[in-house]
Amino acid sequence: MEHLFKVTEEKMNKTIDSLEREYKSIRAGRATAAVLERVMVDYYGVATPIHQMAAISIPEARTLIIQPWDATMLKEIEKAILTSDIGINPQNDGKLIRLNFPPLTEERRKEIVKEVNKKGEESKIAIRNQRRNALDELKALKKSNNITEDDESDGEKKIQELTDKFCKEIDSIAAAKEKEIMEI
């Protein structure tokens, strides 16, 4: 039964990690290298993440600079950024690519907050699905007489406590991201 709790907690932790990665890739008006994580560049026929082929720096709060180690890849990186969904036009000066993050409008901030809340809700649904799976496993253990009714009841309480803990954590992560987005 302890194995069940451990596995359930690991799955719930993975859900939290996934949510945090998602939130890092959401543009909040500040330059962050995380927005480039999902942008893949055709590097001699192989889809390669930008951070594996270039130095990425943030000289100012709203500017990101990409300096490829192979200068011939400038056009490919520029093309990959243009076709991605980050919504920023790259400026190529022949040596490096500069991304200037425009300040977000109030309307755009509200749209992003809705997206943040939606992703938070999806994560809570995933947590609740993991709870359901764990409870089903508990019932199966009880049905096969591997645990007593008291063990099942204690297990249900423990799983519910885990669920509540992780849902609260999701709420606080979402609130922090919302606060970051709404800062001007």
Average confidence (pLDDT) over 21-40: 77
- What CATH fold (topology level) applies to the domain 33-100? Gyrase A; domain 2 (3.30.1360)
- Asked if residue 117 has pLDDT above 90, the reply is yes
- Residue 103 pLDDT grade (very low, low, confident, very high; cuts 50, 70, 90): confident
What is the DSSP-derived secondary structure letter of residue 103? P
Q: CA quadruple 106, 109, 115, 120: dihedral positive or negative?
A: negative
**Structural element, H or E, at residue 12:** helix 2-24
Q: Which CATH architecture has domain 2-24+105-182?
A: Orthogonal Bundle (1.10)
What is the per-residue pLDDT for 28? 67
pLDDT band at 22 (very low <50, low <70, confident <90, very high): confident
**For 134-170, what is each residue's pLDDT tens digit?**
999 999 988 898 888 899 899 999 999 999 999 999 9
Instruction: Give the integer Cα–Cα distance in Å for 1 and 78.
Output: 53
pLDDT band at 184 (very low <50, low <70, confident <90, very high): low
At 58, give phi and psi (nearest 5°): -125, 90
Q: Is the pLDDT reported for residue 7 higher than 90?
A: yes
Whether pTM exceeds 0.85: no
Distance in angstroms (rounded) separating the CA atoms of residues 40 and 107: 29
User: What is the CB-side half-sphere exposure of residue 109 using CA atoms within 13 A?
Assistant: 15
In the chain, where are the structural domains located?
2-24+105-182, 33-100
Nearest to 53 by CA among 78, 26, 82, 31: 78
Res. 14 pLDDT band, cuts 50 70 90: very high
Looking at every residue in the chain, the average pLDDT score rounds to: 88
Asked if residue 104 has pLDDT above 90, the reply is: no
Order of strands across the sheet with 63-68? 54-60, 63-68, 97-100, 91-92
User: Are the beta carbons of 110 and 178 closer than 8 angstroms?
Assistant: no
Tell me the pLDDT tens digit for each residue of 37-88: 888 888 888 888 888 888 999 888 888 899 998 888 888 888 888 888 777 8
E-strand ranges in the chain read 40-43, 46-49, 54-60, 63-68, 91-92, 97-100
Q: What are phi and psi of 65, to 5 degrees?
A: -115, 130
